Amino acid sequence: MAESTQGRYVEPGQEFNRDTNYIEDRITRDGRDGWPVEAGRYRLVAARACPWANRSIIVRRLLGLEDAISLGLPGPTHDKDSWTFDLDEGGVDPVLGIERLQQAFFARFPDYPRGITVPAIVDVPSGKVVTNNYPQITLDFSTEWTEFHRDGAPDLYPEHLRAEIDDVAEKIFHDVNNGVYKAGFAGSQRAYERAYDTLFTRLDWLEERLAGQRYLVGDTITEADVRLFTTLARFDAVYHGHFKCNRNKLSEMPVLWAYARDLFQTPGFGDTIDFDQIKKHYYIVHSDINPTGIVPKGPSDTGWLTPHGREALGGRPFGDGTPPQPPRAGEEVPPLRD
């Protein structure tokens, strides 16, 4: 089976393989790929339901890039062809004037052969997609868009820690971020159990690593924490049941659960999470796994607001910087539900 918008492909009896071929153009200060950094020119299209897109929403918030890069929010579900703007009036993105993200891809590549993925950055004047290379998008927000960072923006990718951040992030990608998908979309019992074992071995490693330090690398929030958080935020709501990652819940791993709550309660993280959209996406779109389309009512969300005690480990969430301001009008998420 294949699902183009998710960039996933698996045959019965085989392991899940993610298509990691993305549009590699970058938006840089020197404009070497033809896309110079320019406030107001680009629109980030990022569905709240998607963990890969959620990263870019968080980094945009933390760095204060809201005035420089606008945000388009597709709905939580999509068809086999494209993410759609069904949350907007008339089902049309108010800035790009399109109903489907696919239109921006086809505006640049009429025969674009790959999945229509989020996050994607679109050049507003031309209506053409610039890039959907999600790992590079957040790094470039940190390193190429510094002119437009808010006062007090944190350094999420400090130069002296980049090698360690990259190493930790790579492990997390293969075993956790993508690991839950390897389990959920496994084409055989053997492939599933291998992915399951790898996932929980890495989660145990993270549990041990974070027992004595507040953040993954150094004493401040970095890109590595952003990348882990979006998977942890979806774990109990989706991955534990829907993807059969059920050795235990996140809420049954005391260190990781406290770490995840610490980040959730940090401005810029929890205020980007919409659990209703997350559940609708996975349980409705993945009809091969959940053919009834029934979306679970639970679990309760309010546990995310309980005390975590991680302050005792020290650390400075924003380093020498400050928290971001509350989300701007139109970018808020609904309150948590019991």
Q: How confident is the model over 272-298, as pLDDT tens digits?
A: 999 999 999 999 999 999 999 999 999
Q: 42, 181, 282, 283: which is the annotated catalytic residue?
A: 181
pLDDT at 18: 76
181 annotated active-site: yes
Distance from CA of residue 138 to its chain's centroid?
10
50 annotated active-site: yes
Question: For strand 2-3 and strand 128-131, is the pairing parallel, antiparallel, or unpaired?
Answer: unpaired
Which CATH number applies to 159-313: 3.10.20.30, 3.30.230.10, 1.20.1050.10, 3.50.50.60?
A: 1.20.1050.10
pLDDT at 19: 74
What does residue 153 show for φ and ψ, rounded to 5 degrees?
A: -65, 140
Look at residues 295, 291, 275 and name the one whose alpha carbon lies nearest to residue 283: 295
Residue 110: other Cβ atoms inside 10 A: 7
Instruction: Return binding residues for glutathione.
Output: 83
> pTM score, two decimals?
0.95
Rounded-to-integer distance, Cα 310 and Cα 315, Å = 9
pLDDT at 10: 52
Instruction: Return binding residues.
Output: 83
Domain 2-148 has CATH 3.40.50.300: no
pLDDT at 7: 47
What does residue 19 show for φ and ψ, rounded to 5 degrees?
A: -75, 110
Q: Please, where in the chain does CATH 3.40.30.10 lie?
A: 2-148
- Sign (positive or negative) of CA dihedral 259, 263, 265, 270: negative
Q: Please, where in the chain does CATH 1.20.1050.10 lie?
A: 159-313
What residues of the chain score a pLDDT lower than 50? 1-9
pLDDT at 12: 56
Look at residues 311, 299, 297 and name the one whose alpha carbon lies nearest to residue 265: 311
